[in-house]
Structure 1
Amino acid sequence: MNISQDLSQFKNQKALLIVSGTRESKFFLAHDGDIDEIDHFKLEEKSYSDKEGFMQKGMFGRTIGAGFVLEKNKKKLEDDFIKILQKHLNEISGKNDIASVYLFTPSHIKNHIKKAIPSPLDKKVESTITGNYHNLHPFKLIEKIDESKKFKGIKLIKESAYKILNKIKK
């Protein structure tokens, strides 16, 4: 799709936008005024429909503790997600000559995702924008990139300082 004229056009360069959550990712390629979703994946979680594995500890007629033995293994899900992410990024970097990378990810998984970016792409990361941007339109993502470029040289101490700068900008 054509990028709106008032946004960055990515002339003569290919930019990869990685929009990631904790269980799914989308990959957009922006170049010469166009942006297209080139890949995506979603990690499906197993769900259990019954209370299999439910346990309850009791003593003297009182319940001391209760819980599920079959709890989600967050570490395993995160590791599986990172492996799939690396596989997709390797395929994308092999097919495209990417000049810059922009990463949109929640703050709690940011470092894991940065480590998952393969070596030719990891040096091309222009900015990392933290937050949940998975369902945003690609134009909104480019707006976020443009905002981050305006404040690139400024070291912000707190999130409140960022909000104040955004108010001044408007």
Structure 2
Amino acid sequence: MAHQAQPYMMKVDWFSIKNELRETDWQGEFEGSSVDEKYNTIISTTLKIARKHVPPRKACYKATIPRERKIIMRKRSKLNSRIKLCKNDHDRRGMQDKVKRLEEQLKKSHRNERARDETSAVKAIQKNYKYFFKYARNKPQLKQLLDLSSPQIGKSSVTHNRSARH
């Protein structure tokens, strides 16, 4: 884990941080303060200096392709390269059919993954409803059904109940 942090740590301007911490008038900052106020002063001053000299980290969300799909894509790639080199039309058509079957397998894999995600989101409604609504927010069809884009979620039922009382 330490080897991953090294490039990021190299970008931090440690010299400037150290100098600014030394140049801070701590006596003046602490004068007439309680212990809690002194602690908060140390924390806030250090954070200000760190924000100034430490570059923000880049979000690194590496998309993971399932192993099964990687294998299918590798096979497809190999077949496509063999098709380019193949001179026999009969063999070429056979390889193109195999490529079509591999593409169908890829589509099936994607459908299965979406079905698994949907099933887990539906199962999580009672225990973890936030997970379901996060899933629903990313699906346009569900978004329309649930009307998640509207800022008045739930207000229509409130107005309906009021009109029923009168």
TM-score > 0.5 by shorter chain: no
Task: Return the structure number with greater helix share.
Answer: 2
So what's the TM-score if we normalise by structure 2? Answer: 0.28
User: Which protein is bigger by CA-based radius of gyration?
Assistant: 2
Higher RCO, 1 or 2 (CA under 8 Å, sep at least 6)?
1
So what's the TM-score if we normalise by structure 1? Answer: 0.27
Task: Return the structure number with greater strand share.
Answer: 1
